[in-house]
C-alpha cells in the first residue's frame, strides 16, 4: 500500500489516498493473475511437448532413444509444478486480494455517497440559516420602524393630553387665577404684551356681560388688556 508523507487533512485527501491504494491493489491482482495465466499456459505447453516426446519414443529400443522418454517425464513433472503454482496463485493470492479490493471499492463508494449526502444536508441547513438570518434582519427593521411609529404616537398622545389638561385648567380656573398663571415674569427690560383673552362662564342660566379691564404689569411700567366674556 502507498503511504503519504503526511496524514490526510480532509475527506477529499483521505478518499484520494484510499482510492489510490485500491487502484494499486487492483494492479497487483492483475499482475498475479497474469503470472498464474502464464503458469497455466506454460504447463499446458510442457504437457503438449511431453506428449509429443512420448509419442515419438514409445516404440524405440535403444537406450539413447529411451533417454528422451525421461525428458518427456521431466516435462510432465514441470508441467504439473507450474499448473499447481498457477492454481496456488489463483486460490491463495488472487482471490483473497480480489475480495479485499472489491470490499474496499464498495466501502469507498458508500463513504463517498454518505459524505455527499451529508454535504448536501449541510448546504441546505446553511442556506436555511442564511434565509432565516435575512428574514430576522428584515423583521428587526420592520420592528424598529414600528417602535419609532409607536414612540411618535405616544409623544403625540402625551402632547394632546398636556394640551387637553391645560384647556381643562383654563376652563375651570377663575379669571384672576388664570391671569396670574399666564402673567409673564418680571425682567430687567419690560415688554408690553397685548393679549385678547376671551373666557366664557355661566352665571345661573345667563352669560355675564362683556367687561374690559386693564391689568398692570408687576413692574408697573407695562400692561395688557383683558377682555372677558
What average pLDDT does the chain have?
Answer: 77
pLDDT of 223 higher than 70: no
Of all residues in the chain, the percent with pLDDT exceeding 70 is: 72
H helix runs in the chain, sequence order: 11-57, 63-88, 95-172, 175-182
Residue with grid cell 442556506, as numbered in its chain? 127
Instruction: Quick: pLDDT tens for 29-56.
Output: 999 999 999 999 999 999 999 998 888 8
Residue 21 pLDDT level (bands cut at 50, 70, 90)? very high
More confident residue, 69 or 92: 92
Region 145-172: mean pLDDT is 78
pLDDT of 79 higher than 60: yes
pLDDT of 139 higher than 60: yes
Tell me the β-bridge partners of 213.
226
Rounded to whole angstroms, how far apart are CA atoms 65 and 73?
Answer: 14
Rounded to whole angstroms, how far apart are CA atoms 66 and 57?
Answer: 7
Fold of 13-209: Substrate Binding Domain Of Dnak; Chain:A; Domain 2 (1.20.1270)
Query: Which run of H or of E encompasses 216?
Result: strand 211-216
Tell me the β-bridge partners of 211.
228
Residue ranges covered by each domain of the chain? 13-209
Rounded to whole angstroms, how far apart are CA atoms 97 and 29?
Answer: 7
Q: Which of 39, 45, 130, 43 is nearest to 78 (CA)?
A: 43
Cα-based distances in Å from 41 to 17, 55, 205 = 36, 21, 140
Polymer length in residues for the chain: 229
Burial of 222 (C-beta count, 10 Å sphere; 0-12/13-18/19+): middle
Tell me the β-bridge partners of 227.
212
What is the pTM assigned to this prediction?
0.51
Farthest-apart Cα atoms in the chain, separation = 175
Region 136-159: mean pLDDT is 85
82: Cβ–Cβ under 8 A, 6 or more apart, which residues? Answer: 39, 40, 42, 43, 46
Cell of 69: 522418454
pLDDT of 99 higher than 60: yes
Amino acid at each position: 500500500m502507498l503511504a503519504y508523507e503526511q496524514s490526510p487533512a480532509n475527506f477529499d485527501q483521505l478518499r484520494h489516498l484510499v482510492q489510490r491504494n485500491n487502484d494499486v491493489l487492483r494492479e497487483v491482482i492483475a499482475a498475479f493473475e497474469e503470472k498464474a495465466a502464464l503458469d497455466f499456459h506454460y504447463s499446458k505447453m510442457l504437457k503438449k511437448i511431453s506428449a509429443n516426446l512420448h509419442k515419438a519414443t514409445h516404440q524405440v529400443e535403444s537406450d539413447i532413444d529411451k533417454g528422451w522418454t525421461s525428458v518427456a517425464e521431466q516435462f510432465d513433472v514441470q508441467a504439473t509444478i507450474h499448473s499447481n503454482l498457477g492454481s496456488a496463485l489463483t486460490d491463495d493470492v488472487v482471490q483473497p486480494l480480489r475480495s479485499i479490493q472489491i470490499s474496499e471499492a464498495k466501502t469507498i463508494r458508500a463513504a463517498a455517497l454518505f459524505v455527499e449526502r451529508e454535504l448536501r444536508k449541510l448546504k441546505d441547513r446553511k442556506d436555511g440559516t442564511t434565509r432565516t438570518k435575512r428574514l430576522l434582519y428584515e423583521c428587526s427593521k420592520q420592528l424598529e420602524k414600528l417602535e419609532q411609529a409607536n414612540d411618535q404616537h405616544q409623544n403625540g398622545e402625551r402632547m394632546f393630553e398636556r394640551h387637553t389638561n391645560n384647556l381643562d385648567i383654563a376652563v375651570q380656573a377663575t379669571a384672576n387665577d388664570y391671569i396670574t398663571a399666564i402673567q409673564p415674569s418680571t425682567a430687567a427690560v419690560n415688554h408690553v404684551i397685548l393679549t385678547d383673552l376671551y373666557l366664557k362662564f355661566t352665571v345661573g342660566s345667563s352669560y355675564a356681560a362683556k367687561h374690559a379691564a386693564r391689568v398692570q404689569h408687576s413692574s408697573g411700567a407695562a400692561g395688557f388688556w383683558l377682555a372677558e366674556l
